[in-house]
Amino acid sequence: MYSRGRVLRFTAVMATVVLALTGFSSGHKSSGRHKSHSDGDGGGGCSSSSQDHDSYTPRTTGTRRSSTLEDGTATLVSCATKAAPYLTAEVSNPNSRQGTFEVKVSFTDASGRTLGSADQRVTVAARGTSKVQVRASQAVLAKLDQCWVEPEADLVD
């Protein structure tokens, strides 16, 4: 029969062996966030002093700029009038590069019926805003009650 001391010693030795085999050691800082992955940089179970174990940045292949760009926003600045026969909207670009956006506008009469609509493209600087104007015809102006701007400006480029 084993004595209690021998069992504890055996358990401690086994724990040390398991930790040593998995790359843990008391001489290295362990943040608990290090993930083991194979990305072709050599490596293995041993730690190098040049490795950063506090952060993980996944590698990307190729550039997929379009997938990370967002649609813009559009707001009505002013509706068309007989004195100024155009609707003015402001478009904002939330992206870190210039983009072209499509703004959808419509003109309605007092009953809410659409008199006309248009799509207008505008190029906006990175994180900037630009104004766009859409002309209303004389027939639309004669019955015009309200102007509408779709709040989402679709990114087209």
Question: Containing H/E element for 3?
Answer: none
pLDDT at 62: 38
Residue 88 belongs to some domain of the structure? yes
The pLDDT score that the predictor gives to residue 7 is: 58
CA–CA distance, 53 with 29 (Å, rounded to integer)? 8
Identify whether 26 is part of a domain: no
Strands (E), 35-135: 72-78, 86-92, 99-108, 114-124, 129-135
Stronger pLDDT, 50 or 80, i.e. the higher one: 80
In this structure, are strands 86-92 and 146-149 parallel, antiparallel, or unpaired? unpaired
Mean pLDDT of 111-127: 97
Rounded mean pLDDT, 61-87:
84
Asked if residue 139 is part of any domain, the answer here is: yes
Whether 1 is in a domain gets the answer no
Is the pTM above the cut of 0.75? no
- Full domain range(s) for residue 86: 70-155
* Kind of pairing between the strands at 146-149 and 129-135: unpaired
pLDDT band at 157 (very low <50, low <70, confident <90, very high): confident
The answer to whether position 37 is within a domain reads: no
30 neighbors 19 (Cβ within 8 angstroms): no
CATH number at residue 119: 2.60.40.3230
Total domains present in the chain: 1
- Cα–Cα distance between 29 and 21 in angstroms, integer? 17
Residue 86 belongs to a domain? yes
Indicate whether 81 belongs to any domain: yes
pLDDT in tens, 3-48: 665 656 666 666 665 545 555 544 444 444 444 444 444 444 444 4
pLDDT at 68: 83
pLDDT digits (tens, 9 = 90+) for 77-94: 999 999 999 999 999 999
More confident of the two residues 52 and 107: 107
Whether 100 maps to a domain, the answer reads yes
